[in-house]
Amino acid sequence: MPSSRIELGSEAHEKHREAGEILAQVREETADRVEVGASHLEVAEYAEDRIRELGGEPAFPVNVSIDEEAAHATPSAGDDSTFGEELINIDIGVHVDGWLADTATTIDLAGHDELTEAPAEALEAAIDLVEPGAETGELGRAIEETIDGYGFNPVVNLSGHGLGHWDQHTEPSIPNRAVSQGVTLEAGDVIAIEPFATDGSGKVTEGSDEEIFALEHDGSVRDRGAREALEQITEEFRTLPFAARWLDSSRPGMALRRLKTQGLIHGYPVLKEDDDTLVSQKEHTLIVTEDGCEVTTRT
């Protein structure tokens, strides 16, 4: 049984639902705070703190992606960046005892209505197809055709994914374009569908910035600062992604470099389209039911 599949009506099902309910509320509250002049760091920390207030934990650092950025951008500690007249993607995750929900939305402060609408409509087109027996390649076809209809390109090297226990990215992959060999969905599958639309080439590449990391495997470290950071990572975040700014270390950058050099953690470079292009995103988490699906992150 794939790690993203649960038993309907189980405790895991209820915890996925609880995570989704928290996340839907936090997404809407956070989006309302994104305006010209607002602080990236304050918005991200508001969302992360609000998740904890409502009884969940962040499943990963809040992603704040601007214009050509598509994923893995999060503010650093002390970041003084503010929003301008830009296209902003906010991607947020919640877990309840390791059971996950994942959602994203684009806030348009620059007048790009159609680019913002394209992934939202593509997401709804894919959701309409979700039921036991549905092929993930057909979901990708619906996403691609909808975004193409707006005159934009889907980002083809990013995809939706399954959500496992303490595992943010599991099978099945949900492509953002038609593929001939997909996976057949079954009742109990927990998936995140996340179309990306762009006026660029439709492929993202890795940038040089890296503020998000995750545990690769546990191990021994001689350096005290790195050892203390590793203890916090394994106890608090386990295998889920975390931000450098979340570490209690007085010198987190050095601790992370040591852990990365030893292969104990890996980083997530910011994923970007070409300069002077734009990327928009919309994402919901779904549980496949016996006769369709349940969208856990819908308000």
How far from the centroid of its chain's Cα atoms is residue 256's Cα?
22
Active site annotation includes 80? no
Ranges of H-type helices in the chain: 11-32, 40-53, 113-127, 136-149, 224-232, 252-261
Catalytic residue, candidates 16, 95, 161, 165: 161
Catalytic residue, candidates 18, 68, 91, 108: 91
Active site annotation includes 194? yes
Catalytic residue, candidates 121, 194, 199, 211: 194
Active site annotation includes 102? yes
The pair of three-digit structure tokens given for residue 229, joined into one six-digit string: 């950071």
Active site annotation includes 161? yes
SS (H, E, C) 18-73: HHHHHHHHHHHHHHHCCCCCCEHHHHHHHHHHHHHHCCCEEEEEEEEEECCEEECC
Contact residues for 33 (Cβ-Cβ < 8 A; gap 6+): 42, 43, 46
Catalytic residue, candidates 169, 186, 209, 223: 169
Active site annotation includes 16? no
End-to-end CA distance of the chain: 30
CA dihedral for 280, 120, 196, 160, sign (positive or negative): positive
Residue given tokens 């700014």 in the structure block: 245
State the greatest distance between any 2 C-alpha atoms of the chain, in Å, as a whole number.
Answer: 56
Distance CA 276, CA 274 (A): 6
Q: Report yes or no: 243 and 211 within 8 Å, Cβ to Cβ.
A: yes
Active site annotation includes 217? no
Catalytic residue, candidates 48, 102, 144, 189: 102
Q: Catalytic residue positions?
A: 91, 102, 161, 169, 194, 283
